[in-house]
Chains A and B, each alone.
Chain A
Amino acid sequence: EPEVTQTPSHQVTQMGQEVILRCVPISNHLYFYWYRQILGQKVEFLVSFYNNEISEKSEIFDDQFSVERPDGSNFTLKIRSTKLEDSAMYFCASTPIVTRQGWTDTQYFGPGTRLTVL
């Protein structure tokens, strides 16, 4: 069964450094997401991406964050200058279709990348 994959599984970085988290969504999916989960807290939406542009973003997704689909398979989240409070598990998700009503069907999640900012 196809799966969303994410690399690396764990990233440790120094505060102020740039990090790029990588995701390979399921191949025929059209809508992509990033979520994060700070330890002990809720899973929070960051951004959605469709047709090579950001569709929606939360207030968490400020100018320090960017997303890109550099080729036909990868979907990346970049944090330009990491802060201590960026330490979290970052989940990528994808969904196969966009319905006429706008609903994007079930989201399939990857295993996550644990980001630790020191």
Chain B
Amino acid sequence: AQSVTQPDIHITVSEGASLELRCNYSYGATPYLFWYVQSPGQGLQLLLKYFSGDTLVQGIKGFEAEFKRSQSSFNLRKPSVHWSDAAEYFCAVGGVSSSARQLTFGSGTQLTVLP
């Protein structure tokens, strides 16, 4: 069964600082990987996705993520955080088999941005 681990429940950074949110996955085949962001009272917005090809993917709002197969990781990064980035971030994994079309989400990382 596929699973996703986000080891950091809560991260606090200062505005302008760099950010890295960790995500590790367990999946028996090539995974499809996603990062979603959820602002308070809002739905899930897709930040970026990895299906194949270049392991460094660019997303919206200046975010990027790197797929590392050897480490089963898909960490999210941003070089300079803005106050509006404060939200909850979810990593998710999906697959290609008929039993794996649904997304499996991590437990989320809450990001607080200090002025």
Q: Which one of A39-47, A69-77, A79-87 is at the interface?
A: A39-47
Do B101 and A56 touch across chains, with their CB atoms under 8 A apart? yes
Do A102 and B98 touch across chains, with their CB atoms under 8 A apart? yes
Known pairs A102-B97, A102-B98; A109 contacts B107 (CB<8 A): no
A106 at the interface (CB under 8 A from B): yes
| Residues of chain B from 1 to 58 with CB closer than 8 A to chain A in the complex | 32, 34, 36, 42-46, 49
In whole angstroms, how far apart are the Cα atoms of A4 and B92 in the complex?
19
In whole angstroms, how far apart are the Cα atoms of A94 and B68 in the complex?
28
| Residues of chain A from 17 to 73 with CB closer than 8 A to chain B in the complex | 31, 33, 35, 41-45, 48, 55-56, 58
Residue B43 contacts which of A31, A41, A101, A112 (CB distance < 8 angstroms)? A112
Query: Nearest CB to that of A92 among chain B residues?
Result: B43
Q: Can you sample 18 A-B contacts with CB below 8 Å?
A: A4-B43, A31-B101, A35-B103, A42-B108, A43-B90, A44-B105, A45-B103, A55-B101, A56-B98, A56-B99, A56-B102, A91-B43, A103-B94, A103-B95, A103-B101, A106-B34, A107-B103, A108-B46
Which residues of chain A have a CB within 8 Å of any CB of chain B?
4, 31, 33, 35, 41-45, 48, 55-56, 58, 91, 93, 101-104, 106-112
